Amino acid sequence: MPSLTHAEARARAELLTVRSYRVELDLTRGADRFGSTSTIRFGCTRPGTDTFAELRGTLRRATLNGRELDPTLVGNRLPLPDLAADNELVVVADGDYSHTGEGLHRFVDPADGSAYVYAMSFLDCAQNIFCCFDQPDLKAPVTLAVTVPEEWTVLANERGARIDARRWEFTETRPIATYMTTVCAGPYVSRYREHDGIRLGWHARASLAEPLAAASDELLELTARCFDAYHALFGVRYGFGDTYDQVFVPEFNAGAMENPGCVTHRDELLYRSAVTDAELETRAAIVAHEMAHMWFGDLVTMRWWDDLWLNESFATYLSYRVLPAASRYTDAWAGFAGQNKLAGYAADQSSWTHPVAPDEVADADSALVNFDQISYPKGASVLRQLAAWLGDEAFLAGLRDHFARHSYGNATLADLVDSLAAASGRDVAGWARQWLRTAGTNRLSLSTVDGQVGVRQQGVHGAPLRSHRIGIGAYRLSGGALVRDQRVEVEIDGGYTEVPGLAGDADLVLPNDGDLTFATVRLAEPAMRDLPRLLPAAADPLTRALLWTVAWDATRAADLPPGAFVDLVAAAVPGEASATLSTTMLANARNLVADRYLDPARRPAALATLAGTCRTMLADAAPGSGRQLAALRTLVSCLTEPIELAALLAGDLPAGAVLDAELRWRLVRRLVVLGAAGAAEIDAELARDNTGQGAVHATGCRAALPGAAAKQAAWRSMMHDETLTNRHLEALARGFWQPEQSALTAPYVERYFADILPATADRSGELAGRLAGWSFPGYAVSAGTVAAAEALLARDDLAAGVRRALATGRDELRIALAARSA
């Protein structure tokens, strides 16, 4: 089916004004299909002109201004000939339920047999549910009516009510884009609280009632305090009625989706087992992120997908800005710097990097691949630099002006630049050309010439040099603590900038102190060599995050040998107080350095070192704490002796640790990978945990079985079974490849490059890209695997998502090969 192009969207936006949608859905027609009736009222600036609406489904009947239309779709397009000045389009259709997290997704909970439905209309999947003009700048009010089984509850963008035993009707929304429409239906359980005139609701399926009850006080309080923070920042109240629901939904592709008035979250975020502090902080950041979208994305919406950064970069930046005041995560910026931003640096140094705000995105399919670590953490970091450069007062004044001009409408980069320039008097357009229209990362380092300290800037992989406002901190070791003696803020430009008055004899001089800009850093010697001594001595979590960032970026760039990073983790993680920093660095050392960056012959020693690090953490961790859990989880992944894993599974745990479902599955999977557990043990564990998440874990374990028949069955399902849900497909792919089984899976490296294009040919753009990435043979670190990927990338017929996945896999293999040579 053709993807809507930017040119087509512009032409249709110039032609049409959509006045309203009325959508009626019938969810009582069985397990496979639903009914959909759309009534669209719209104006046309040039009567007599033709256009089209979009629908993916079976068209039963369509009338335009009372006259019957040919009930034949051209792909996903319904031709609309001879428009009048004022038009009414009525479309009756049947739709297919999705199992891929796109459109109207239906899930049957194995815990109790109950069915649940939710709508995911993003990016252009509203047309999977109802006929519409599926582009972001044709916003209109939506009125929804839904027919469901009697025992179901229905939630949507606005407040609704049960009209009779099976029918629900909802208040008309404010103008929203089609991709923001949602409905959630099923026997959901709910928790409510009133705050500042807004009814706050959290909802989950019935089998998750207990974890919902346990988390609801924290979630409702977080939501309330985030509303207070955003109202204070923007001076503009939440603009979508008097209700704000958040629904945990199954088999969700993203972390969450910002449907105004009814945000959907993946239900793995409703933790049913013990949880680490890092996971709780991540969940809080997601909640705050989606709430920020009520302003950036929903109240003011990008005109086209080239400005998706106006949604995602702002929501990411604002979520971490409000978390320290709105939650107990007062060091949220440190977690962002040491986790999210690392992903941004990696993406921006890849072969597929792109500007935060590209000049053009040709079509909707191309837009999908830009929902990445450039548009999220890099964009957020760039906005933090913008606030530092403009000054916070001018920055916020510009945002408020932006809302005043464009509420319930659409805007572009140029519109935001106008508001910020008017508020600050600075050349924001020139700043945007540097930071938003160009790609690539700058690297900052120190240089001392005749006792004068200066900052050198270079462009990584040829990136253009930019102007930066940064902090520079001078630190000394005193009594075992790293103390900041001096800090200056300067604006740097070009390849070299002198910094007068900065001491050059400190134990550590840190460029980008305070993390105000987006640039990687290299320390002067001997500070780089002294990281194992300096990093644990830093009391400030943001300073430690920056030092961890230096070490990790240097490892990926082959400037620091991978074994040295393992040694740094062993020296510094046991004393790392930040849960996010400690878990991120342990994961990087375990999953990337040990499994990919080190020569396989050195992997056992690295795993032993990391296991020892985890045992040190366990000895010091408080019983039952998130720190204990994080160390225990990593220990499980590092153990190579089945007898130790079996003892843990039998309950021989540290005091305070709980052998819950999630920990049991980790132990079973590790035993499966090592060949010490098989199909019988997997089946027994699934019988113990007969839930949706248990079924996904079992699928991943079966794919990890170290036998030729098991691998063949997993590969066949992964590449050919299009009935699998998105979550089970991911579990198969992630379970299949294991470093311990490299000899067994070696023949499948070549098969991947032969099979992946046929396997993705008939899947949606989003799922095709995900499958290509999930199943890429990332552990097969060799020049041959790189060459095979490059040969496939040379084709000119690859779907955008598949191309991105292949390029990412190829780039990561190159990094691993370079690291091994270091």
Residues designated catalytic: 290
Separation of alpha carbons 355 and 375, rounded Å: 9
**Which residue in the block uniquely carries the two structure tokens 């033709």?**
50
Evaluate whether 593 touches 566 at the Cβ level (below 8 Å): yes
Going along 15-54, which residue ranges are E strands?
A: 16-26, 33-44, 51-54
Residue 37: alpha-carbon gap to chain centroid: 33
The residue length of the chain stands at 822
- DSSP 8-state symbol, 340: I
Residue 678: alpha-carbon gap to chain centroid: 33
β partners of residue 5: 363
**Which residue in the block uniquely carries the two structure tokens 């972001």?**
136
Who contacts 505 (Cβ-Cβ below 8 Å, separation ≥6)? none
Separation of alpha carbons 299 and 287, rounded Å: 17
Separation of alpha carbons 698 and 668, rounded Å: 9
Sheet holding 452-459, edge to edge: 496-498, 452-459, 442-449, 519-522
Q: Which amino acid appears at position 276 of this protein? A: T
Phi, psi of 454 (to 5 degrees): -140, 165
Separation of alpha carbons 523 and 407, rounded Å: 45
Phi-psi region of 455 (alpha: psi -120 to 50; beta: other; left: phi over 0): beta
Give the C-alpha distances (Å, rounded to integers) separating 360 from 343, 372, 381, 417, 775: 24, 16, 22, 18, 30
Separation of alpha carbons 759 and 770, rounded Å: 12
Per the structure block, which two tokens stand in for 90?
């009525």
What is the end-to-end Cα distance of the chain in Å, rounded?
Answer: 47
Angle at 93 between CA 92 and CA 95, to 5 degrees: 155
DSSP code per residue over 524-544: PTTTTTTHHHHHHHB-SHHHH
From the list 495, 475, 493, 491, the residue with the least C-alpha distance to 483 is 475
Evaluate whether 357 touches 306 at the Cβ level (below 8 Å): yes
Sheet holding 160-162, edge to edge: 67-68, 58-64, 86-96, 33-44, 16-26, 142-147, 167-170, 160-162
Residue 118: its H or E element? strand 115-120
